[in-house]
Amino acid sequence: MTHATEVAAVLGGGSFGTAIATILAQKGHATRLWVRDPETAAAINNDRENPRYLPGAELPEGVLASEDLSEVLRGATLVFMAVPSKAFVEVLSQARDDVAEGTIVVSCTKGIHADGFLLMSQLLQREWPHTRVGVLSGPNLAKEIVERKFTGTVIASPDPTVCQRIQEALSCEYFRVYDSQDMFGVELGGALKNIYAIATGMAAALGVGDNTRGLLITRSLAEMSRFAAHLGGSPMTFLGLAGVGDLIVTCSSSLSRNYQVGYLIGQGKTVEEAVASLGQTAEGVNTIRLVAERAREMDIYMPLASGLYDILFNQRPLHKVIDALMRGEHNHDVEFVHGTVS
């Protein structure tokens, strides 16, 4: 690979946006990080630390933070969108005129937009049709990235040049970037796994055994693949890093925000209390609502997602949901063989 220098704009100063900016700066790219809070920007520039999202992690000198969106985007050849899904359209609208024709834009946000059930790449294509769009997704806990622990991710785009440019920009001795043409499947996997991280966090708080954890993660993968197939995606994509890889990490690690929310709910906190206690965005809470409602509309069998919806939004007792899950219909263990329903 060649290593051309890029001018990279990262929109969103949360944990993952900061981690991506760290990689880019360490590789020598001109890196600007947009944050809403002037105090956070000052801390990054002066103290080389994001105290709210990655306290204690030293950031490289090459990361320049600013609350001025136009300044961050000026001359950018690569744009990484790492803002929460609820703010995605607002930021796209604000920044539209500052993004040049043909700029490569990569979504790092693992969520779903409620109006129209749109993925972030679909919002990018709608709001910024003059850009070239890709999606970055995988088992990528921000804290481990800034600690330079070995990590793999997937850049997905139907445009092979987008994949190549992002691989060249981000690949380093601790961050390996694989490519995929299935942008829809990769992005959907990143959004769906947040649901099941909440479920396994709740299960951990209840003290379930390893057998139960294995059951939950495996059946979660089945639900994700089933849902994707009904929406026209390839279930085979879910066997990769953006599917099962991301699912295992977020369902197993206490560093996962959605796992943390589930754990707090399992301890008896309300959804609102759990999210407030976390202090960061947990995309899975909103995704549960959207996916459970869409599954019901399309008659897709998703007992885990539906059960979580009942617990979080219908105040159904947990033990009744578990009982219903164990008494549910018996399906095939493996539903897909070579990408088709078995």
The catalytic residue positions are 193
Between CA 68 and CA 301 the distance in angstroms is 46
144, 119 in Cβ contact below 8 A? no
Which phi-psi region, left, alpha or beta, contains residue 103 (left: φ > 0; alpha: ψ -120 to 50)? beta
Residue 181: name the closest of 121, 102, 250 by CA: 121
Phi, psi of 173 (to 5 degrees): -65, -15
Handedness of CA 81, 87, 93, 98 (dihedral sign): negative
* Strand ranges across the sheet with 104-107: 63-66, 30-34, 7-11, 78-81, 104-107, 132-137, 151-156, 175-180
Q: What is the largest CA-CA distance in the chain?
A: 58
Q: Which two three-digit tokens encode residue 11?
A: 């929109």
Query: Are 77 and 7 a contacting pair, CB within 8 Å?
Result: yes
